[in-house]
Amino acid sequence: MRQYVVDAFTNEVFSGNQAAVCVMDSWPSERLMMSIARENNFSETAFVVHEEGAPAERWHLRWFTPGAEIDLCGHATLATAYVLLRFVAPDAERVEFDTLGGRLVVAREGDRLAMDFPAYALVPVEVTDAMEKAIGVRPIAAFMGRDLLCVLGSAAAVREAQVDQEKVAQLDGLLLHITARGEKDGPYDCVSRSFAPKLAVAEDPVCGSGHCHIVPFWAHELGRSDLVAYQASARGGELWCRMRGDRVTLAGQAALFSVADLYV
């Protein structure tokens, strides 16, 4: 089995978000995919197969964290598209993926790859003491989609937050995202960080599916559809985002770290 390791939402290795991408002729067992994901110990390992009878550009894609299979993942989708468009179909302009999150399309956009993703509907929820204890600072607002989105008062608060992983795991929502408006006169409209202890991922370095929550909030709050977002993890990552009705376009770059054969 050929495996690629790609850093997504960056143009250089050792930043962005690592994803392993396994390109296969047929599906292995879920037990083996789960074991590979745990062995890699990245926030996600992607498995992709071109199934018999499918159009040339369409693939079936699944994502596994070290803790479970997940229904939507942005950075591993970007990494998979990067691998396919570089090594498998270098003349193609786009690829399509059938996933648990629906049909996803990734297309070349200059030196970036642009992903068409669903936007999560956000429901306002009460800010609680439990949120404050988990994050270390009290949010000014909170919303629920698939994940919990907590809005903080400043970008510095997001960057400096020292979250309590055990307390985060007790909050509602699959993941926790904390976000704030970008610094005044800075290059980013918003900054964020993402935490997923329920999936055995302490902090996701750059979370694409998280921005399916973050972008709808900030597009509404700032009154515009185009945003540049920064994930303020230790590795860091940049996303060029566009809100389109109930869909979000997330664009970014990727850098290849390694190619290997798995003896499994």
State the catalytic residue, choosing from 12, 44, 57, 238: 44
- Judgement on whether residues 172 and 241 belong to the same structural domain of the protein: yes
Q: How far is the first Cα of the chain from the last one, in angstroms, to the nearest whole number?
A: 7
Regarding whether 240 and 195 lie in a shared domain, the answer is yes
User: Do residue 98 and residue 204 come from a single domain?
Assistant: no
Whether residues 97 and 203 share a domain: the answer is no
What is the C-alpha separation between 98 and 90, in angstroms, rounded?
A: 20
The answer to whether residues 89 and 47 belong to one domain is yes
Q: How much of the chain, in percent, has pLDDT values that exceed 70?
A: 100
44 is catalytic: yes
Range(s) of the domain holding residue 164: 123-245
Total number of domains constituting the chain: 2
Tens of pLDDT, residue by residue over 123-166, are 999 999 999 999 999 999 999 999 999 999 999 999 999 999 99
One domain for residues 70 and 13 = yes
The answer, as to whether pTM is greater than 0.75, is yes
CATH code (residue 189): 3.10.310.10
Instruction: Let me know whether 96 and 72 are in one domain.
Output: yes
The whole-angstrom distance between residue 173's C-alpha and the CA centroid of its chain comes to 16
Indicate whether 92 and 163 sit together in one domain: no
Q: What is the pLDDT of residues 166-183, one digit of tens each?
A: 999 999 999 999 999 999
Asked whether the CA dihedral 148, 177, 71, 102 is positive or negative, the reply is positive
